[in-house]
Amino acid sequence: MYRTGIGYDIHPLKQGNKGLYVGGIKVSDLYYAEGHSDGDALVHAIVDAVLGASGKGNIGMFFPENFENLNRRSLEFLEYLCSEILSGDFEIVNIDSVVIVEKIRLLPYLEKITESIAKALGIERSKFNLKPKSGNGFFANSIQAYVTCLLATRGDGSA
């Protein structure tokens, strides 16, 4: 049996040298995404898409805005998903994503982001796709991510 999920996240962009992370890769030293953790909108949207497809809830249920998650690296969220949510019950068929950010060009980082996400999820690189977009003047002060995920159930399909 197959199951689909969708994820979305948005964070305001601020000037500062905390670093902007997309898919676990630092893509800017001039901007950062304001958020409770590291503000990695792509990873947050992937988490929600996988949780939605698995029927296990949403990112806030597993990683609430508390002291433990303050400034936490979002890639740790993906590692948790693999070990606690996907293990045994589901296999990722593919993940497709769009990231909209105007102030940074993501194309030079595309391969590194793909490798980072694939490694964190324990999947082949061909199962993850990212399409960076500029927003054409509409989203100058934010970073947004949209993600779809297709899971296949393992075993009897009752997951």
The pLDDT value recorded for residue 158 is: 58
Mean pLDDT of 9-17: 94
Q: Which of 30-34, 61-65, 79-83 is most confident?
A: 30-34
- Does the annotation flag 44 for ligand binding? yes
- Does the annotation flag 156 for ligand binding? no
Q: What is the longest distance spanned by two Cα atoms in the chain?
A: 50
CA atoms of 98 and 50, how far apart (whole Å):
15
- Does the annotation flag 39 for ligand binding? no
- Does the annotation flag 37 for ligand binding? yes
- Does the annotation flag 88 for ligand binding? no
CA angle, residues 123, 128, 130, in degrees to nearest 5: 155
pTM of the model: 0.92
Residues 29-61 have pLDDT tens digits of 999 998 887 889 999 999 999 999 999 989 888
Top CATH class of 2-153 equals: alpha beta
Beta strands in 102-141 (DSSP E): 128-133
Beta strands in 29-127 (DSSP E): 31-33, 90-101
